[in-house]
Structure 1
Amino acid sequence: MEGQVLTGLLTQDNQLNEQNIVQKMTEQMNYAITALNAYKKNPNPQYAWKIQEALMNYKMNYQSIFPKVS
């Protein structure tokens, strides 16, 4: 859902590049949620690291689109 909101805010000049970044952000958030669900079933620190990595990648991609907001 957030991906749809962000896509609506994109500038036309860089829209294709920014859409690719939003797609990556969506994939990273989905990856983090999948890892979180796996962690709930099996609390292995490996899943915690995957969650953190995915969320950091999400934040870096967000900052590349909205540097002044971050």
Structure 2
Amino acid sequence: MNPKDIIKEYTNGEITVVWQSGKCTHSGNCVKNNPNVFQPKEKPWIRIDGSPTEKIIETIQKCPSGALNFYKNE
């Protein structure tokens, strides 16, 4: 699989975070805004239980490339 085509999903039950590697510009906004969740040196690098859902959503909305998205689970 091409590393630029990777799509991963992480859920905390309330939301699912979707990361698309091909769109990521590595701006670091996610890490700067929410280091408890976004930990690029770890595997998995998104620790979805690291902060409240609203903080995760706020962080995702600051992603300049659109590599991070989310949807609410029903």
Instruction: State the TM-score bracket (shorter-chain normalisation).
Output: 0.3 to 0.5
TM-score by length of 2: 0.36
Higher helix share: 1
Q: In terms of Rg, which structure is larger?
A: 1
Higher strand share: 2
